Structure formats: C-alpha cells, structure tokens
Structure 1
C-alpha cells in the first residue's frame, strides 16, 4: 500500500482547517493542522510533509516569517492560502519561496488542483497519488468522458 500524501495546514481558522481535511482526506491525503505561526513552523520542520498550506495572518508570527523559517531548512512545497489577496502580498510570498498562492475564498477543486500541481512540480508525489474521477458529461446524444478522453455521439 502506498503511504498517504501528508499535508500540513497552518491556519488560525480551525473551521477552515477542518474543511480542508474533510475534502482532502477521502482522496487519500493525510491532513494535519496547526493554528499559530510558531507551532506551525516547528511542526513543518519537525516532521516529513509532502506539502504545507500556509496562511499569512497567524498569531505568534505571520505566515511570511513561517515561510522564511521553513525555507531556511526545507524545500517542502508551500501553497500560500490567505485572505490577503493584494498583489504585494502575493509577490512577497512568492519571492520568499512559496510555490503557489491562492487567495481566500477559494473553491475546493481549485485548492486540490493547485496542491497537485505543486506536488507534481516538486517531485514529491508518487505516480499513484489520489486522483479525482470526473463524471461523464452527457448532453443529449453527446457523451464526453474526461478520464478516457472519449467522445461519442449516439452509438458512434
């Protein structure tokens, strides 16, 4: 059995952390969370993670400082997830070493797509990483299967 892809969410919003865990866990991800900057940085560096989802606004120290601490010792992929969506905040996060940036509010599917993207780019994800099966699209006699890339019209 392939080990789960381990994700650490560092966000002071416990409800958001739970929503992320509830969405990612059924897809084979192991999700843990920390709710302040110092604890998040310590846990990010103290355990093996495949990726970190990091908020900017945190008690104790902000997400930029957490990112600095992580980057000083680790190359783990970091996805910034924050309500601070201003351009300057995105640029600072990316220049400090974040791999991607997703402003709140976000869709679960976009979070998953961006997370998978940073995992692929970093080489931290196994080929057997969980994939979300897509439903077949049907419009009248037209059928499109995104998983197999098959398109049929009627019986053809």
Structure 2
C-alpha cells in the first residue's frame, strides 16, 4: 500500500507541484489549502507524513505543528516543514516545535523527494 502524505500549503502552484511530484512517485496525497482545516483533515486522512508550509494565512504552521504534537491522535505523524521565509533561527524554532525535517523554498525536486523518503521511506 502506498504511503499517505498530506500537504498543508496555501500557494496553489506549490501545492500542485508537490502533489504531482508525490503522486508520480506512488504516494497517496491530500492537499489542504486552509491551515485552519489541517488538524481535522489529518485526523480523517491519517497520513504517514504531513508537509507543512510555515507562512499560512490565519494560522502559523509552527502553531499547527505544536498542536499536532499535543494531540494524542496526531502526535505520532511526522511533519516536514517547508517555507519560503527562512530567517535566522527559524529552522531551530520549527524543529523545536516538533517538525522532523525542514526545507526552505525554492526546493529542488530531488532534495524534496529525498527529504520525504528520509522520513517515511
């Protein structure tokens, strides 16, 4: 059975790129464009990995990662953060929030796939 990946990304082009790329490599993918729906969608979809944009409207990706870590149903799901706004100390804050991986945009296709496979095989 293929691994399931949920992508939380408000940018439609990035969401399409990540979705198409993962589907082409036999992953089952669900996209969530509104971070406010991410936790509920994660409970329903039960992904093997969540790819989390950090700069989302309405809610921070860091806040979502922290909320997942506190949720008994979601805490075991690894999160890989992907962000275009990588400032000094951001990676450390994101990893401290509970993310298992971190990539800054723009992301190369190979680096993205390598990072996904490093987390969920």
TM-score, normalisation: structure 1: 0.72
Consecutive unaligned residues of structure 2, counting only runs of 5 or more, are: none
In the TM superposition, residue 106 of structure 1 has moved relative to its aligned partner by 0.7
1:111-146 deviations in whole A, cap 9, x for unaligned?
Answer: 1100110114xxxxxxxxxxxxxxxxxxxxxxxxxx
Higher helix share: 2
2:120 is matched with 119
Task: Name which structure has the greater RCO, CA cutoff 8 Å, separation 6+.
Answer: 2
Q: Secondary structure at the match of 1:87?
A: coil
Instruction: Give me the whole-angstrom Cα distance separating, in 2, the residues matched to 1:30 and 1:49.
Output: 9
In the TM superposition, residue 14 of structure 1 has moved relative to its aligned partner by 1.3
2:34 is matched with 36
In the TM superposition, residue 101 of structure 1 has moved relative to its aligned partner by 0.3
Count of residues in correspondence between the two structures: 118
2:45 is matched with 47
1:62 is matched with 60
Q: Post-superposition, which runs of at least 4 consecutive aligned residues in structure 1 deviate over 2 A?
A: none
Q: Secondary structure at the match of 2:89?
A: helix
1:84-124 deviations in whole A, cap 9, x for unaligned?
Answer: 2123111111001100100000101101100110114xxxx
Q: Note if contact 1:50-1:77 (Cα within 8 Å) is conserved in structure 2.
A: yes
Instruction: Give me the whole-angstrom Cα distance separating, in 1, the residues matched to 2:105 and 2:5.
Output: 18
